[in-house]
């Protein structure tokens, strides 16, 4: 791949990673801030479950952006078995996290059908 294009794609990957970090920082602050702001209006139970699902949603969004960054990285990475295995493991970790976060918010695995209302 020509150096210039590789450079541009790499830059795009960095931008994606930074935006996902921003999502985490801002989302964390908003979630905790909302919790503290509402702490007197809600019962402990409600406040807890709202904070928990807000945090999980923030992390899910950030992970989704990171997956895009991972895919971009597979384009630019120097192909060796070592680096490919590392990237694969990283993708497994992120996929696992996004599954368990969805489990926390929805109370079911992503492949399970939605509960009947």
Partner 1 sequence: MPPLLVTILDHVSLLIELVGVGVLISGALFSIVRYFYHSRVLVRTARTKEFKRGLGRSVVIGLEVLVAATIVKTMIVKPSLASIGLLAGIIAIRTLISWSMVLEIEGHWPWHSKPRMQDASQKGACDNVNR
Residues that bind partner 1 (CB under 8 A): 14, 17-18, 20-21, 24-25, 28, 32, 43-45, 48, 51-52, 55-56, 58-59, 62-63, 66, 77, 82-83, 85-87, 89-90, 92-94, 96-97, 100, 103-104, 107-109, 112, 115
CB 108 within 8 A of CB 114: yes
Task: Give the nearer residue to partner 1 in terms of CB position, either 4 or 78.
Answer: 78
Q: Which is nearer to partner 1, 14 or 71 (CB)?
A: 14
**Shortest gap between Cβ of 2 and partner 1 (angstroms)?**
21
Q: Which of 32, 29, 38, 99 is nearest to 63 (CA)?
A: 99
Residue (of 100, 26, 104, 103) closest to 62 by Cα position: 26
Please answer whether residues 65 and 19 qualify as being in contact, where contact means their C-beta atoms are separated by less than 8 angstroms.
Answer: yes
Least spacing, CB of residue 38 vs partner 1, in Å: 14
d(CA 77, CA 79): 6
């Amino acid at each position: 791949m020509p150096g210039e294009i590789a450079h541009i794609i790499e830059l795009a990957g960095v931008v994606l990673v930074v935006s996902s970090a921003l999502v985490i920082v801002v989302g964390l602050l908003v979630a905790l801030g909302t919790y503290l702001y509402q702490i007197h209006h809600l019962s402990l139970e409600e406040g807890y479950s709202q904070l928990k699902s807000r945090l999980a949603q923030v992390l899910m969004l950030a992970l989704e952006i990171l997956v895009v960054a991972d895919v971009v990285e597979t384009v630019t990475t120097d192909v060796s078995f070592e680096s490919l295995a590392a990237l694969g493991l990283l993708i497994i970790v992120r996929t696992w996290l996004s599954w368990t976060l969805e489990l926390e918010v929805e109370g079911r695995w992503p492949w399970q059908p939605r509960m009947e209302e």
